[in-house]
Amino acid sequence: MTRFSYPLGGMTRRAAVALSLAALGGSVLRPQPSMQGASAGMGPDAPALKDWPTLDALAQAMIDTRLTPGLSLSVMHKGVMLYSKGFGQSDIDSAISITPQTSLRIASITKQFTAVAILLLAEQGQLNVHDPLSKFLPDFPRAAEVSLHQLMSHTSGMGDYINRQDHSILDAARTRDYSTDDILKLIRAGKPLYRFAPGMGWAYSNSGFTLLSSIVERLSGQSFADFCCKHLFERAGMANTTIDQNCEVTNAVTRGYTPTRGGFLPNLPVSPTFLRGAGAIRSTTEDLCRWHAALLNHQIIKPYSLEAMMTPALLKNGKPAWERQGHEPLNYGFGVGLGVTEDSRRYCTHGGR
C-alpha cells in the first residue's frame, strides 16, 4: 500500500511539511504529510538531507516486523526535501535495495491526478464539472443522471469493476492488456451497475475514475498516459513518474509481494491498461512530494480549481458525503479524502492498494 496525508490550512498559504511513503507488499501505512511550496527542492543548491532517527525507526520497524520487504520515505517542507531514504529490498530474489528513486505502483493515489486532469480541461473550457456523463458517453446506462462532479467524489452510486470483479478476470489482467472498449464493457457488465441512485450516497468506485480518464482521452485526443505526462508530471518535475502502456513494462520494472508467515510471495500487479485513471500510475516518494508541492502552489491548476478539489462533496439532500464516520471522520473531495484533526487542522489523504 502507498499512502500520503498532509495538512491543508488555507488554500493560498504554504503548508508545513511534505511527506510521502511507498511500500511493497500489503502493509498499511499511515504517515502524516503535508506538501506545498516550490516544486523541486533537490537541485545542486538544495540543503543537505537531514538525519531523522524517529523516521528511520518507523521504517525499519516495518521491515523488521515483515509488513513489507521494502519501502521508501520522503519528507518535504516548503518545497525543500528534508529527508529521503530507502529501506529493505525492491526485489527479494536479486537483493536489490530500495531507494527513494525506486519506482513503485501508487495505485489509487492515481485518482487525484485523474481529477486534476478533469479540472484542467474545465479550465480550458472543454467541460464543466457539473456536466452529465451523457455529454461524453451518451450510450452509457443512466448517463444523463450522473455528473462528472459525482464521479470525482464517489457519489455517483456506480459500482466498482475492480473490487467487485471476478478473481479470474483480475488474474487474467496481470498478464494481458485491455482497450478502452474492453474496459467499458467490463464496467457496464457490473451487477449491479449502480448501487444506489446518483447523488444519494457515497461508495468508492474505481469505475467512475476509469470513465473520467476515458473522457480525458476523448477531449484531448491523447492517451491518458500522454496527457498526464505532458500536463501533470512534466509541470511538477516528476522525472521518475509514468503510466506504462502495457503490463510487460510494468511487471519488468516493479515487483509486488504479499506477506505470509514464511516470508513473502510474489504478487504480480494488474495491468495499467486495466486500471487506467483509477490506479495506473507508477511513481516515487520524491516525485509525489514534488507533485504536491506543485499542486498546492497552484503550478498545476488554478486556485479556484484547487479549492473545488479540496471542498467536501455534498449529497443531493445537502448532507456531507462521508467516506467514513466515527473516531476519525473523513469527507471526500475530488480524488482525495478530507478530514480535520483534533486541533482543527484540515488535512488531505489517500491510500493506494
Q: Interhelix angle for 206-220 vs 180-188, to 10°?
A: 140
Q: CB–CB of 215/128 below 8 Å?
A: no
Q: Note if the pTM is more than 0.85.
A: yes
C-alpha distances in Å from residue 223, one per residue of 61, 227, 228, 349? 40, 6, 9, 27
Give the pairing of strands 346-352 and 263-266: unpaired
Comparing 8-12, 230-234, 243-247, 347-351, the range with the smallest average pLDDT is 8-12
Query: What mean pLDDT do residues 35-62 have?
Result: 72
pLDDT beyond 90 at 23? no
Indicate the SS3 state at residue 83. strand
State the pLDDT at residue 19. 53
- Exposure of 321 in the CB half-sphere (CA atoms within 13 A): 27
> How remote is the C-alpha of 180 from its chain's centroid?
20
Query: Cα–Cα–Cα angle for 73, 287, 94, nearest 5°?
Result: 60
Comparing 36-40, 59-63, 315-319, 338-342, the range with the smallest average pLDDT is 36-40
Q: CB–CB of 265/149 below 8 Å?
A: no
Grid coordinates given for 105: 505502483
Mean pLDDT of the residues in the chain: 88
Query: What mean pLDDT do residues 108-137 have?
Result: 98
Query: What mean pLDDT do residues 279-299 have?
Result: 96
C-alpha distances in Å from residue 112, one per residue of 84, 280, 324, 352? 23, 12, 18, 11
Residues β-bridged to residue 310 = none
Grid coordinates given for 325: 464516520
Q: What is the pLDDT of residues 144-191, one digit of tens each?
A: 999 999 999 999 999 999 987 788 889 999 999 999 999 999 999 988
CA–CA dist 269, 262 (Å, integer): 21
Residues, the chain, total?
353
CA–CA dist 136, 149 (Å, integer): 14
Query: What mean pLDDT do residues 294-314 have?
Result: 97
Return the closest-CA partner of residue 127 out of 118, 114, 115. 118
CA–CA dist 89, 98 (Å, integer): 5
Return the closest-CA partner of residue 290 out of 238, 344, 226. 238
State the pLDDT at residue 163. 86
* Burial degree of 13 (CB within 10 A; 0-12, 13-18, 19+): exposed
Q: What is the pLDDT of residues 220-249, one digit of tens each?
A: 999 999 999 999 999 999 999 999 999 888
The larger pLDDT score, comparing residue 255 to residue 145, is at 145
Indicate the SS3 state at residue 324. strand
CA–CA dist 340, 348 (Å, integer): 9
Query: What mean pLDDT do residues 17-21 have?
Result: 53
Q: What percent of the chain has pLDDT over 90?
A: 74
pLDDT beyond 80 at 6? no
